[in-house]
């Protein structure tokens, strides 16, 4: 057959033509149906119905749709796990488990009763159909991602419930098959499966963490990391199938294990989301649509009757489950709608149960067709309800965000990243990005300063600018590259920071070149004396995403510095992005101020406080620092309130006791704007309430006047 004839012969068999049609569907279906206020997920499924073998027969559901569809559902479950913040997951784990039991038991009971009364089926068939009602697929989860609600309480609870229902439905399905084939319940098979699940969870959890930490520390290329992560997902999925579980459970568990190694704001996460949302997940949705035969409804009322009973029972039981969970957990109406939308979609597990039931003669043809119609209706309802609930929930969060005066007044960081070495430039930029708030859209300035025309130095500096630029643009951030010729590097950095009104200056830690060289080096020492802006010095021997804990040493009276709130925010952002815990080692008087800043901005981080009696504890606690920890030391300039003779020897301490640790030294901003109230007072106000006592207000006024007098004296000199 000639090429033109092959291209225009339907169903299509020419690979280029098939892929082109799929791409056109992925492109046009959301654009067209969004105008009709129909979620793009429903658009993909409807498009699959139209072009599939039961529609206009433009495409057949061949091996490509089998493969890409399977990859798509695994990708969907993996994304759901990897996008959840581990803090929110642990916080809502109990509620998720409880909701999982509720949304399994109620549909199971309702399904068995409805099937027995309406279809007069056997008990194994009733249990099989009820397991189809009980299980669900996160088919509407891409909507959650688009609205940025992955860490919403309702979403986290629903995702946890998904795993419970899928696992229990799988156990129920296995027992039905045992009854059909052996004539009895095989309890030994169930116990064997549970034992294998325990071994599987422990093995994957330990092995994947070790492999991920080993790999990410040695290979920084984002493409290589993406392939590595994808390989681990499919290894976990394949092993899950080998022990008798669904592959989607393995993909989800792999996402949970790898979660902390993939920060939300990283090039790796961008690639994972892009590939899944652009190719694999749409392929899966189109493939689901191609399974659906709308024509069976008009062939006889029996199929329509079966489909109606199955659909109503599935949706109503899931709604009742969400309603009970909402009332039990004290949640809102939009939360209930979101939980119902996420747990009412049907796809992977339901399709598997349908095929198994038809294979073993537990389902007749009408029931199988009714189940397929149920999948279409439930998926459509789930997508519509999820989108509407997400819109209202997002609007509510936005209004609350705007009503929060402290958040509304938050000063987003305007960062300047000074680079000179291409080896460390990318790591510096990644560290800077992770310390930004997720809503911060300020441009980042990447700076290389030179004071001569030395060829190798200039080439190295420009390569460093390119590396830093690539690291920022991979995260869809705006970055300005600046190459500046100045009298010296310090003046170049300070002048650019003033020109662009930067709040943070991020530089790499100095490396001693000879025995008389200081730990900070002339650049950092000059920078600290030439500017009152926040200066951050970073030295990280391992990949940032493999950091397991932040250990923060805070000097005495640090809460009285103008830049106190700003550096606590940076630490909070870093811990949130990395999903690791923070250990503050500080004086007891500083604890409430740190808590106040973290709580006022609702940082979802695990925080521990260790009291420091004297600065000698700084050395004592050095034994607690591990290779995968990041030691953060808060310094103080000589003219600052928190400066003491102990801090004068800080560089020597760091050089002697922390030469092999990952290190971030922060010198907070001094003085700040005239109209600004010192950060500690704001933080403590958040802690004690919106109506501070008179002595607190007096303290704030005295503190502001004191700083103003110091600023005037400094300017005179």
Instruction: Work out the average pLDDT over 205-229.
Output: 90
| C-beta separation of 337 from 250 below 8 A | no
User: C-alpha distances in angstroms, 191 versus 103, 171, 185?
Assistant: 23, 11, 12
- Which of the two residues, 423 and 672, has the higher pLDDT score? 423
pLDDT band at 519 (very low <50, low <70, confident <90, very high): low
Pairing of strands 479-485, 629-634: unpaired
Instruction: Work out the average pLDDT over 582-597.
Output: 90
User: C-alpha distances in angstroms, 54 versus 63, 380, 433, 578, 647?
Assistant: 17, 18, 49, 47, 76
User: C-alpha distances in angstroms, 38 versus 50, 341, 427, 514?
Assistant: 16, 14, 43, 67
Q: Give the model's pLDDT for residue 227.
A: 93
Q: Give the model's pLDDT for residue 416.
A: 93
User: C-alpha distances in angstroms, 458 versus 26, 294, 452, 569?
Assistant: 46, 67, 8, 35
* Confidence (pTM): 0.78
| C-beta separation of 633 from 663 below 8 A | yes
Q: Give the model's pLDDT for residue 399.
A: 53
Decide if pLDDT at 1 tops 60: no
| C-beta separation of 574 from 536 below 8 A | no
Helix 267-275 × helix 63-82 angle, to 10°: 140
Q: Compute the CA torsion angle 710, 713, 716, 717 (nearest 10 deg).
A: -90
Q: Give the model's pLDDT for residue 317.
A: 93
Instruction: Work out the average pLDDT over 581-599.
Output: 90
Q: Give the model's pLDDT for residue 259.
A: 87
**How far is it, in rounded angstroms, from Cα 609 to Cα 583?**
6
Q: Give the model's pLDDT for residue 417.
A: 93
- Which of the two residues, 291 and 314, has the higher pLDDT score? 314
Q: Give the model's pLDDT for residue 706.
A: 53
- Which of the two residues, 547 and 357, has the higher pLDDT score? 547
| C-beta separation of 565 from 411 below 8 A | no
């Amino acid at each position: 057959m000639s090429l033109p004839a092959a291209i225009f012969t339907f169903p299509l068999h020419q690979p280029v033509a098939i892929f082109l049609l799929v791409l056109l569907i992925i492109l046009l279906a959301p654009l067209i149906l969004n105008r009709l206020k129909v979620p793009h997920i429903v658009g993909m499924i409807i498009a699959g119905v139209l072009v599939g073998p039961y529609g206009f027969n433009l495409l057949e559901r061949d091996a490509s749709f089998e493969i890409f569809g399977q990859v798509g559902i695994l990708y969907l479950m993996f994304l759901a796990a990897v996008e959840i913040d581990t803090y929110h997951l642990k916080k809502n784990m109990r509620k998720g488990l409880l909701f999982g039991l509720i949304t399994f038991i109620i549909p199971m009971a309702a399904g068995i009763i409805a099937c027995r009364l309406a279809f007069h089926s056997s008990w194994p068939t009733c249990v099989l159909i009820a397991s189809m009602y009980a299980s669900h697929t996160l088919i509407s989860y891409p909507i959650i991602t688009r609205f940025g609600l992955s860490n919403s309480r309702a979403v986290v609870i629903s995702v946890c419930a998904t795993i419970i229902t899928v696992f229990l439905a799988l156990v129920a399905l296995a027992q039905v098959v045992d009854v059909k084939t052996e004539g009895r319940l095989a309890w030994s098979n169930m116990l064997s499966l549970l034992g294998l699940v325990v071994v599987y969870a422990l093995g994957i959890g330990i092995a994947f963490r070790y492999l991920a930490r080993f790999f990410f520390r040695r290979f920084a290329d984002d493409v290589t990391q993406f392939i590595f992560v994808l390989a681990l997902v499919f290894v976990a999925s394949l092993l899950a199938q080998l022990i008798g579980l669904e592959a989607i459970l393995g993909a989800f568990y792999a996402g949970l294990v790898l979660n902390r190694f993939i920060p939300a704001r990283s090039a790796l996460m961008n690639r994972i989301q892009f590939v899944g949302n652009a190719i694999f997940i749409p392929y899966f949705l189109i493939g689901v649509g191609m399974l659906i035969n709308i024509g069976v409804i008009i062939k006889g009322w029996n199929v329509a009757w079966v489909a109606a009973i199955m659909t109503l029972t599935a949706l109503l039981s899931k709604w009742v489950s969400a309603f009970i969970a909402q009332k039990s957990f004290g949640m809102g109406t939009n939360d209930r709608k979101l939980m119902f939308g996420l747990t009412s979609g049907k796809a992977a597990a339901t399709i598997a149960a349908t095929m198994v039931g038809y294979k073993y003669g537990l389902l007749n043809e009408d029931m199988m067709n009714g189940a397929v119609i149920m999948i279409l209706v439930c998926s459509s309802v789930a997508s519509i309800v999820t989108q509407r609930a997400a819109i209202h929930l997002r609007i509510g969060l936005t209004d609350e965000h705007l009503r929060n005066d402290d958040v509304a007044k938050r000063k987003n960081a305007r960062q300047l990243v000074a680079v000179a070495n291409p080896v460390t430039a990318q790591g510096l930029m990644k560290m800077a990005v992770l310390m930004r708030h997720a809503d911060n859209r300020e441009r980042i300035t990447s700076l290389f300063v030179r004071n001569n025309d030395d060829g190798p130095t200039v080439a190295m500096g420009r390569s460093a600018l390119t590396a830093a630029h690539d690291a920022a643009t991979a995260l869809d951030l705006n970055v300005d590259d600046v190459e500046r010729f100045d009298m010296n590097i310090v003046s170049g950095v300070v002048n650019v920071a003033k020109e662009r009104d930067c709040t943070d200056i991020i530089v790499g830690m100095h490396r001693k070149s000879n025995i008389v060289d200081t730990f900070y080096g002339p650049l950092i020492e000059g920078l600290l004396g030439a500017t009152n802006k926040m200066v951050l010095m970073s030295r990280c021997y391992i990949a940032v995403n493999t950091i397991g804990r932040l250990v923060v040493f805070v000097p005495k009276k640090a809460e009285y510095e103008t830049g106190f709130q700003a550096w606590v925010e940076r630490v909070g952002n870093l811990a949130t992005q990395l999903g690791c815990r923070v250990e503050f080692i500080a004086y007891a008087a500083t604890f409430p101020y740190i808590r106040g800043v973290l709580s006022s901005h609702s940082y979802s981080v695990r925080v521990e406080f260790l009291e420091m009696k004297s600065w000698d504890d700084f050395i004592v606690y050095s034994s607690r620092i591990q290779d995968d920890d990041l030691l953060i030391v808060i310094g103080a300039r000589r003219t600052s309130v928190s400066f003491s003779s102990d801090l004068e020897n800080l560089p020597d301490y760091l050089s002697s006791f922390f030469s092999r640790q990952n290190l971030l030294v922060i010198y907070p901003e001094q003085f700040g704007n005239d109209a600004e109230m010192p950060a500690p007072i704001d933080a403590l106000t958040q802690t004690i309430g919106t109506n501070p006592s008179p002595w607190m207000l007096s303290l704030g006024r005295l503190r502001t006047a004191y700083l103003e007098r110091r600023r005037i004296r400094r300017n005179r000199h």
